[in-house]
C-alpha cells in the first residue's frame, strides 16, 4: 500500500509541475474560444480577424480552452483557426508550446 501512495505522490507532483505532453485541437481566439473547434475556412478567417483586433490565441482541445503562454504565442501565428498537434507544458489552464504542427 505504501508503494501505491508513493507512486500517486510522484504522479501528482509531475502533473502539478507541468510536465511536457502532447495535445491535439484547434487554435482559436480568446473572444470566440470553442466556437471555432471545427476549424472551417470561416472559423479560420474569424480567428485571424479577432487576433488582429487584439485577441489572444487559445488552444481548444477536447472541449477545454487552454490559454497559450504569452512567450509562446508567436509559434501559432501561422496556424490560426486550424487543427494542430502541439507539444508543450500544461500548467492549470495555460500551455507553454514547445512545438506545433498541423494535424493530419
For residues 84, 90, 93, 94, the Cα torsion angle rounded to the nearest 10 degrees is -80
Q: Are the C-beta atoms of residues 16 and 9 closer than 8 Å to each other?
A: no
Q: Which three cell numbers stand for residue 33?
A: 474560444
What share of the chain in percent tops pLDDT 90? 76
Q: Are the C-beta atoms of residues 98 and 20 closer than 8 Å to each other?
A: yes
Instruction: Quote the pLDDT of residue 22.
Output: 94
Query: What are the tens digits of pLDDT across the range 37-72?
Result: 999 999 999 999 999 999 999 999 999 999 999 999
Instruction: Quote the pLDDT of residue 60.
Output: 97
What share of the chain in percent tops pLDDT 70? 83
pLDDT surpassing 90 at residue 13 = no
Q: Which three cell numbers stand for residue 9?
A: 505522490
Q: Map out the domains of the chain with their CATH numbers.
A: 19-102 (2.40.50)
Write the DSSP assignment of the chain as a string of letters: -HHHHHHHHHHHHHHHTT-EEEEEEEEEETTTGGGGTT--HHHHHHHHHHHHTTPPEEEEETTEEEEEPGGGGGGGTTSTTSEEEEEEEEETTEEEEEEEEE--
Amino acid at each position: 500500500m505504501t508503494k501505491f501512495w508513493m507512486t500517486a505522490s510522484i504522479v501528482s507532483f509531475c502533473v502539478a509541475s507541468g510536465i511536457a505532453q502532447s495535445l491535439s485541437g484547434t487554435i482559436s481566439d480568446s473572444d470566440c474560444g470553442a466556437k471555432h473547434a471545427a476549424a472551417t475556412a470561416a472559423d479560420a478567417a474569424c480567428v485571424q480577424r479577432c487576433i488582429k483586433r487584439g485577441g489572444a490565441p487559445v488552444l481548444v482541445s477536447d472541449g477545454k480552452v487552454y490559454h497559450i503562454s504569452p512567450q509562446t504565442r508567436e509559434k501559432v501565428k501561422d496556424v490560426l483557426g486550424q487543427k494542430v498537434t502541439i507539444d508543450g507544458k500544461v500548467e492549470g489552464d495555460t500551455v507553454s508550446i514547445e512545438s506545433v504542427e498541423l494535424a493530419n
